[in-house]
Amino acid sequence: MQDDALQMLSSQIAGCRLCRDAPARGEAHRLPHEPRPVATLSSTARILIAGQAPGLRVHESGLPFNDASGDRLRQWLNVDRESFYNPDHFAMLPMGFCFPGYDAAGSDLPPRKECAPLWRQRAMDAMPQIELILTIGQYAQAWHMGAERMSSMTETVAEWRRYLLTNRSPAILPLPHPSWRNSGWLKRHPWFEAELLPVLQHRVKTLLS
């Protein structure tokens, strides 16, 4: 029954055109292209990757993190592409399922406002087996961590032990976005690779075994 319900929900998400047909108040424009929701729901995965929104390359391929950011994320997790894209291992649920387009400076816009209120809690309720949520970036951290997050993404990630090493279920581990634009952030915060990544990789290996 859970698999049937999850399949139905996945089909409903794939067919969603809300951001094109009925944009939320506060959105400056309708989605400038045909929506292509990108999400991976799973009845068996124990790890959820909660990201922001697909970029253009992901929009074109329909494959989550099928870009340079995904390459870095897989390095952080210490998993290969086959394991990463195995829905028995990872579920993937961005805050916005569709590529939101670019701003005037050519940067990706934030996740659309229509998506999370309609779909997110339903998707989370459909995956009660999740044991670890990786919240990537401020939007995912805001939804999943609420008032527990710090005033900035950097402070939130710096407090990762507070969120991960508790009795909360599922556990949450906040991460910065793996975009190569954040290379400077990684250099300024060497504790991320020296202290957080070994714990992340051990936790992932344990949950996948």
What's the pTM value of the predicted model, to 2 decimals?
A: 0.93
The CATH number for 2-208, chosen from 3.40.630.30, 3.30.565.10, 3.40.470.10, 3.40.50.720, is 3.40.470.10
CA-CA distance, 126 to 138, in Å (whole number)? 24
Ranges of each domain in the chain? 2-208
Alpha helices in 15-128 (DSSP H): 18-21, 56-61, 68-77, 81-84, 115-125
CA-CA distance, 107 to 7, in Å (whole number)? 33
**pLDDT for residue 28:** 66
Over residues 21-65, the pLDDT tens digits come to 888 887 766 777 889 999 999 999 999 999 999 988 888 888 999
Which of 96, 84, 192, 179 has its CA nearest to residue 143? 96
Least confident residue range of 13-17, 24-28, 166-170: 24-28
What is the chain's alpha carbon radius of gyration, rounded to the nearest angstrom? Answer: 16
CA-CA distance, 20 to 61, in Å (whole number)? 20
